């Protein structure tokens, strides 16, 4: 323990926190495609790559630093060595050494399965995990593309089961036409699915708990039907029709536009047409910047990094300033 304490003290004295890029964690999915490579230049090797996990503290899929003096260290190592400096004091007090959110880009070449996520209480009881509240920012949508979000009428659990058993579940689901820039807030309990032809930035609680309720009878590469979680989902679903998912927000240039503010994360949109500065210290939190359009450079006043569409940078809480140089770039800003 004494040696570990000495290492922590020594490392804190030698290395100052700076804006961090992580190596993307790429995930093959039955419904995935190639647009993460063609649009974002991700190093994918498969034609069915559906997800790029940009910042992850999910056990087994911990992000690894790609730049600077901390290159090669995992996100978990950084939290263990610099908890308050990286997370922020209030975030550390709330979440301990767990990184509280998961950041992704998703390419849906085909429809995703219809699914639901449990809330914190149910996820803790069943999986010792966080729940999975999430939001989607539609980066690109093909003409006519749709999402499934919630029900088109309030149903009982029994009515839901009848439709599920008879193969008519889609008759009671709510379909939403989408376009670039649309944003959706998916609270736990809401059935949902990303439709084909859509690329999204997803911000969510750190959790990989998903209950798949319907998969259009598709088979995987081995010819097998994918596992469904019918019974687990029954007590997780909110069966009431609610129009609480579409997010309305402003898109004023060169300023902060508030998009989502929930107990698990805050997300803003910064549509920038010129250089920009912002003080960050008042938030006492790490900040994550996802570039969803254009390119430029991003800095804490000391370390400057290039950033372009499809890239993500984490500013530790000890980075107190954001400086951007650009002629045109849209950033999603995420913090706790």
Reading the block at residue 40, the tokens are: 């974002």
Partners of 74 in the β-ladder: 64
Partners of 219 in the β-ladder: 225
The one-character DSSP state at 173 is: E
**Per-residue CA distances from 222 to 30, 108, 205 (Å):** 11, 20, 31
137: number of Cβ within 10 Å: 24
**Is the C-alpha dihedral spanning 205, 75, 301, 311 positive or negative?**
negative
> Which residues neighbour 158 within 8 Å (Cβ) at sequence distance 6 or greater?
none
> Which residues neighbour 165 within 8 Å (Cβ) at sequence distance 6 or greater?
none
Is 212 catalytic? The answer is yes
331: number of Cβ within 10 Å: 26
| Maximal C-alpha separation, the chain | 64
Catalytic member of 29, 94, 126, 212: 212
Residues noted as catalytic: 212
């Amino acid at each position: 323990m004494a040696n570990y304490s000495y290492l922590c003290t020594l490392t804190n004295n030698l290395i100052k926190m700076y804006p961090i890029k992580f190596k993307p964690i790429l995930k093959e999915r039955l419904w995935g495609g190639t647009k993460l490579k063609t649009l974002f230049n991700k190093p994918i090797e498969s034609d069915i790559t559906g997800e790029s996990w940009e910042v992850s503290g999910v056990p087994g899929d911990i992000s690894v630093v790609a730049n600077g003096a901390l290159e090669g260290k995992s996100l978990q190592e950084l939290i263990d060595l610099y908890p308050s400096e990286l997370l922020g004091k209030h975030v550390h007090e709330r979440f301990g050494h767990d990184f509280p959110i998961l950041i992704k880009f998703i390419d849906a070449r085909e429809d995703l399965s219809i699914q639901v996520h449990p809330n914190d209480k149910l996820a803790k009881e069943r999986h010792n995990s966080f729940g999975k509240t999430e939001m989607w920012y539609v980066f690109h949508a093909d003409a006519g593309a749709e999402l499934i979000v919630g029900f088109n009428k309030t149903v009982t659990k029994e009515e839901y089961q009848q439709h599920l058993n008879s193969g008519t579940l889609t008759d009671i689901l709510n379909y939403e036409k989408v376009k670039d820039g649309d944003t959706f807030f998916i609270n736990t309990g809401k059935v949902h699915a990303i439709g084909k032809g859509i690329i999204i930035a997803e911000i969510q609680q750190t959790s990989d708990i998903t209950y798949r309720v319907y998969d259009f009878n598709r088979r995987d590469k081995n010819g097998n039907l994918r596992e469904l979680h019918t019974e687990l989902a029954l007590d997780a679903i909110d069966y009431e029709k609610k129009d609480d998912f579409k997010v309305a927000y402003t898109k004023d240039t060169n300023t902060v536009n508030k998009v989502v503010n929930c107990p698990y994360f805050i997300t803003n949109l910064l549509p920038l047409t010129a250089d920009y500065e912002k003080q960050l210290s008042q938030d006492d939190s790490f900040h994550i910047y996802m570039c969803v359009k254009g390119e430029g450079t991003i800095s804490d006043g000391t370390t400057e990094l290039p950033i372009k569409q499809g890239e993500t940078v984490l500013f530790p809480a000890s980075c107190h300033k954001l400086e951007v140089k650009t002629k045109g770039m849209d950033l999603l800003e995420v913090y706790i």
